[in-house]
């Protein structure tokens, strides 16, 4: 036997690979070049984006997770509560983001369906020195209120008669309606009224604050007309968003009467600590109420010429890179 034949017989044979096995173990050069780049860079050729880290945010603290591919915009999340740069795990969302979304959605649903504790709020308003009345709309329950928006805009007839017999409003009438977020009304209505009382001069002892169960914005027209108010101001829970389940809206109408159009009102929205703070909303509302009474109008003809609140000016002047996420 020759020496060549001897070496061939003693050396073990390498196991043969199938075509599928070779394709898995030996990716093509095209596949290697694509997989070496993050998905955000693959979809936008020519853009120069920073290399993302392997950290995913959970609240304010990043958590290292080798399975999660974060987004190059991750640092921008410190400046907004919007759902940006949420990262990915393959073609799916990270579990932390899915859970966070579910929690936000549950809070928004709770804001709509949670019953307003009218008795407790009325007690707190009276303890603060406000003249309080409690009425209801023509929507008998929450389910009807959600399915029939028109009924939430009209005052119950028996309550209308009661308001017609009550002492008229000296100048302003306030309406506190649960709207689509009872959390907003429970948390912000009283602080806003107290802040406005410090800024706006009127006969507060005689100014009515009317609480409405299952009420929408236009119910203020019926109430203001019955109380003969020059201006009606409606504080109502706004439709909740996924980052704002407790946003309060303020609507005011000059010479309220049934049938007023939305173009005849003014609105100040997103009143909450993470949006427009109560003190800033009270400043803006006080200024616009004076304008409305002086010009004898509201709606599209009345422009907001109030100065920004000091806190808002400070925020605008701050370096965006130093702002903290709410």
Domain range list for the chain: 116-312
238 vs 216: CA distance, rounded Å: 10
Strand partners, 241: 244
222 vs 207: CA distance, rounded Å: 16
Element (H, E) at 174: strand 172-177
When the candidates are 3.40.50.11240, 3.40.50.1780, 3.40.50.2300, 3.30.365.10, the CATH number that belongs to 116-312 is 3.40.50.11240
C-alpha pair distances (Å), 177 with each of 197, 223, 294, 319: 19, 12, 27, 39
101 vs 94: CA distance, rounded Å: 11
Angle of CA points 144, 235, 255, to nearest 5°: 100
DSSP state of 115: P
> Positive or negative CA dihedral for 165, 119, 229, 139?
negative
What is the DSSP annotation of 287-305? HHHHHHHHHT--STT----
Q: CB atoms < 10 A from the CB of 291, how many?
A: 17
* pLDDT (0 to 100) of residue 234: 98
Q: What is the pLDDT along the chain (326 residues), one digit of tens a residue?
A: 444 444 444 444 544 444 444 444 444 444 444 344 444 344 444 444 444 433 334 344 444 566 766 667 777 877 887 888 887 888 888 888 899 889 999 999 999 999 999 999 999 999 999 999 999 999 999 999 999 999 999 999 999 999 999 999 999 999 999 999 999 999 999 999 999 999 999 999 999 999 999 999 999 999 999 999 999 999 999 999 888 899 999 999 999 999 999 999 999 999 999 899 999 999 999 999 999 999 999 999 999 887 776 554 434 443 333 333 33
* pLDDT (0 to 100) of residue 84: 81
Comparing CA positions, the residue from 109, 68, 113, 105 lying closest to residue 88 is 68
Comparing CA positions, the residue from 26, 47, 25, 27 lying closest to residue 38 is 47
What is the DSSP annotation of 223-284? HHHHTT-SEEEEEEEPPPBTTBTT-EEEEEEES--TT--GGGEEEEEEESTTSB-HHHHHHH
* pLDDT (0 to 100) of residue 326: 33
């Amino acid at each position: 036997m020759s020496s060549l034949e001897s070496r061939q017989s003693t050396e073990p044979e390498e196991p043969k690979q199938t075509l599928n096995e070779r394709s898995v173990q030996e990716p093509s050069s095209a596949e290697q070049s694509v997989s070496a780049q993050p998905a955000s860079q693959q979809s936008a050729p020519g853009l120069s984006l920073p290399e993302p880290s392997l950290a995913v945010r959970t609240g304010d603290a990043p958590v290292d997770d080798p399975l999660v591919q974060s987004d190059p915009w991750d640092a921008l999340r410190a400046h907004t509560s919007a759902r940006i740069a949420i990262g990915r795990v393959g073609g799916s969302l990270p579990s932390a983001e899915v859970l966070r979304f579910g929690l936000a959605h549950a809070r928004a649903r709770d804001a709509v369906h949670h019953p307003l504790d009218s008795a407790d709020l009325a007690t707190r308003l009276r303890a603060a020195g406000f003249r309080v009345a409690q009425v209801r709309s023509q929507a008998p329950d929450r389910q009807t209120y959600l399915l029939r928006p028109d009924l939430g805009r009209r005052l119950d007839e028996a309550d209308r008669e009661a308001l017609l017999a009550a002492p008229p409003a000296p100048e302003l009438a306030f309406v506190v309606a649960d709207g689509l977020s009872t959390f907003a009304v429970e948390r912000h209505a009283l602080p806003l009224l107290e802040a406005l009382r410090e800024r706006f001069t009127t006969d507060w002892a005689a100014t009515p604050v009317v609480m409405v169960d299952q009420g929408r914005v236009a119910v203020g027209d019926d109430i203001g007309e019955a109380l003969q108010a020059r201006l009606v101001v409606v504080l109502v829970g706004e439709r909740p968003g996924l980052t704002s389940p407790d946003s309060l809206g303020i609507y005011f109408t000059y010479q309220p009467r049934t049938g007023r159009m939305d173009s005849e009102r003014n609105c100040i929205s997103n009143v909450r600590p993470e949006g427009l703070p109560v003190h800033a909303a009270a400043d803006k509302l006080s200024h616009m109420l004076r304008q409305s009474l002086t010009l004898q109008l509201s709606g599209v003809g009345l422009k907001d010429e109030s100065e920004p609140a000091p806190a808002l000016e400070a925020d605008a002047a701050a370096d965006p890179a130093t702002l903290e996420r709410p």
